[in-house]
Amino acid sequence: MEVNEQKVLCITGMHRSGTSLVAMWLECCGIGFATEFLSGPRPFNKKGHFEDERLVALHSSVIEKELSKSKGWIVTKNIDFTFCESDLEKINEILKSYESISDIWAWKDPRTLFFLNSWKKIIPRLKILMIWRPADEVVSSLMRRDKGTKSETAKISLDEAIKTWQVYCEKIIEIKKAFPEDSLVVSIEDIIGQQDKVLTKIIEKFDISLERKNLEIVYSEKLLSRNEKIDMEMTPNINKITDHLNLLSALAED
């Protein structure tokens, strides 16, 4: 089956917001992933990031070319990244590998947020599931990882963490406005607390058939620790973005 005949979903959102959890859950519900190319477990993500390493490498390289200090993921200003001709050739090869996976397949990568205008031109029928998590929880998670890792790529300052949350979440709002019929915004809190309602929204909005599998198959509270919240100033801008995300969230429509 060719990609233009398949239903394709992108799972994205700010880093440390539960996108890996959502991807693992939806795979259990019947969505196909390129399992042989998925990244494995990491010290700060015991079950793996559930990301197609080929797409992560592609997105990261484009971001790093534009923002040399980004490490391929730290984006502190709102940018739409675009693909060059050689990137498109790589994408074409990657998409071919998905043709035999399933009639419904997905990839997950937070960085995709900044490429969605380009991706919608490549796959016009692409559906977009954007996950968000409160700023203090995300920043706290990033800073715990920063203290506990030796990887320079994962290192981030407090100021960068706050700005990156803002920019990623501003992009979520922007993408929802640009593609209202093809996108859903969902808080990770709603997924954990009201999984059945969220799954119903995904099924109905994206017109796909999924099995109803319990989130507990893949969920552990340790994966989304709420302990040791960092002392950060909740600026008016962060509060404004949070309010906007709450209004756009799928369950707010009920």
Comparison of pLDDT for 230 and 24, the residue scoring more: 24
What pLDDT score was predicted for residue 79? 93
**pLDDT beyond 50 at 253:** yes
**pLDDT beyond 60 at 1:** no
CB atoms within 10 A of CB 2: 9
Based on C-alpha coordinates, what's the Rg of the chain? Answer: 17
Assigned CATH topology for domain 3-253:
Rossmann fold (3.40.50)
Of 114, 108, 110, 235, which is closest to residue 163 (Cα–Cα)?
235
- As a whole number, the mean pLDDT across the chain is 90
Q: In what order do the strands lie in the sheet with 7-13?
A: 104-108, 7-13, 127-132, 183-187
- The answer to whether the CB of 137 falls within 8 A of the CB of 226 is yes
**pLDDT beyond 80 at 182:** yes
Q: Pseudo-torsion of CA 24, 25, 28, 34, nearest 10°?
A: -30
What pLDDT score was predicted for residue 42? 47
Look up residue 196 and give its two tokens: 């059945």
Q: Which of 98-107, 113-122, 195-204 has the lowest mean pLDDT?
A: 98-107
- Residue 225: pLDDT band by 50, 70, 90 thresholds? low
- The answer to whether the CB of 107 falls within 8 A of the CB of 51 is yes
Kind plus residue range of the DSSP H or E element containing 150: none
Q: How many Å apart are CA 6 and CA 104, to the nearest integer?
A: 6
- Residue 40: pLDDT band by 50, 70, 90 thresholds? low
Domain ranges of the chain: 3-253
- Residue 150: pLDDT band by 50, 70, 90 thresholds? confident
Which of 28-37, 77-86, 139-148 has the highest average model confidence (pLDDT)? 77-86
**pTM greater than 0.85:** yes
**pLDDT beyond 60 at 145:** yes
Task: For 154-177, write each residue's pLDDT tens digit.
Answer: 999 999 999 999 999 999 999 999
CB atoms within 10 A of CB 100: 9
What pLDDT score was predicted for residue 166? 96
